[in-house]
Amino acid sequence: DHRDLHSFPTRRSSDLVHMEAWFENAEALCLLTGNSSGNLELLDFDFGAELFVPWSDAVEAQNPDLWNRLVIETSQSGGMHVVYRCADPVSGNMKLAQRRIECESPDEIAIGGKTCKPRKDADGKWHVIITLIETRGEGGLFLCSPTPGYKIVQGDLASLPILTAEERTLLLEAAWSLNEYVPAPVSAPVPS
C-alpha cells in the first residue's frame, strides 16, 4: 500500500495517550494473572517471607538456570513475589504452604503485621491457619512495582520468563515441601 500510514489517525496512538494519563495519576499498579495475561502466575511469600530462603535454596539447587530467570520483587508487607508466565494454562489461586498456630482464646491476634481471627476446632482448641506461600493464578491479581513499597530485586516485569510445565512443577513442589499443615480429613456421606 502506497498510502502514508502516519497521515491516518490511529487508535493505537490514542490508547497510548490514555495509558500515559492513567499511569501519570496512578497510585498503584496491579497485574492480572491467568489466561488474560498470557498465563502469568505469581508465587506470594507472606509473613515476612520466612519461607523464601528455604524455597529459593531448593529451587536453585535443582535448577540454577531457572532460578536466575525468575522475576523477584519485595512487597510492601515484607513479603516476596516471584513472577513468571507458563507455556500451559495455570490453575486458580492455590495455598501451597500453611501453618497452624495455637491460640489461648478467640481474641484476634497479630501475626507478621496481619490480624487473624482464631477458630475453634473439633477438640475445642482455638487456632489460626496462616498461609505462608500461595499462588495468584487464573482469576487473580496482585500489586507490583512501581507501586510504593514494591521493589524489583531480580529480573524485569516487562520481560517475564515463560516456564515449561516441568519448571512450574519444580517451583510448586519446592513450596509444597515446606507446608506444615494438613487439614483433618472430612467424612463424606456413604451413598446408599
Place 123 in a pLDDT band, splitting at 50, 70 and 90.
confident
Tens of pLDDT, residue by residue over 137-185, are: 999 999 999 999 999 999 999 999 999 999 999 999 999 999 999 887 8
Q: Is-above-0.75 flag for pTM?
A: yes
Q: Match 517475564 to its residue by C-alpha cell.
A: 160
Q: Average pLDDT in the 130-142 region?
A: 96
Tens of pLDDT, residue by residue over 53-97, are: 999 999 999 999 999 999 999 999 899 999 999 999 999 999 999
Residue 162 DSSP SS3: strand
Q: Which among 72, 29, 43, 60 is positioned nearest to 131, based on CA atoms? A: 43
CA count, 13 A, side-chain hemisphere, 167 = 19
Amino acid 13: pLDDT: 62
Integer Cα distance of 80 and 59 in angstroms:
15
Q: Round the average pLDDT of the chain to a whole number and report it.
A: 89
Q: Average pLDDT in the 28-44 region?
A: 94
Looking at the predicted structure, is the pLDDT value of residue 5 above 50?
no
